[in-house]
Amino acid sequence: MNDSSAAAPPEIDEFDAVGLEKLAGRTVKVPRVKGAPVHLECELDRFVDLSNGGSRSGSVMTIGRVTGVHIDESVIDGDRVDIVRAAPIARLGYFDYCRVDATFVIAQPKWPLTGRTE
């Protein structure tokens, strides 16, 4: 994952450069990563420049529309994705990442909220 974040020239196939196998996309004309337990195929909606006070930060948020979802049975528990079993790695910012190794449930509160202090 980290190797594919290098600013490679446009003529370089990053799958080949980092040794990843491809699967053909079903709803879009770009490949998916073979062996990944979950794939989301997306079409570009827009780019959002995340400039700060007129000074270009170089950061851009990409927003897409999901056009296809592929989930390997190995990460399904009943009728839900077991996120711990899927074992994703999350990008936190800067050069920081984390592994998902536990989950917990927090029930949505009912309105009106009670028992809150100011």
Establish if 77 belongs to a structural domain.
yes
**32 class by beta-carbon count within 10 Å (0-12 exposed, 13-18 middle, 19+ buried):** buried
Domain of residue 88, residue span: 72-102
Region 96-103 average pLDDT: 94
pLDDT tens-place string over residues 20-77: 999 999 999 999 999 999 999 999 999 998 877 666 667 889 999 999 999 999 999 9
How many Cα atoms within 13 Å fall on the side-chain side of residue 79? 0
Q: What is the pLDDT of residue 55?
A: 61
- Does residue 110 form part of some domain? no
Residue 10 lies in a domain: no
Q: How confident is the model at residue 80 (pLDDT cuts 50, 70, 90)?
A: very high
The pTM of this model reads: 0.76
Total domains, the chain: 1
Nearest to 4 by CA among 91, 98, 99: 91
Residues 75, 80, 85: CA angle, nearest 5 degrees? 30
pLDDT mean over 100-111:
94
CA distance 90 to 81: 16
pLDDT for 1 equals 79
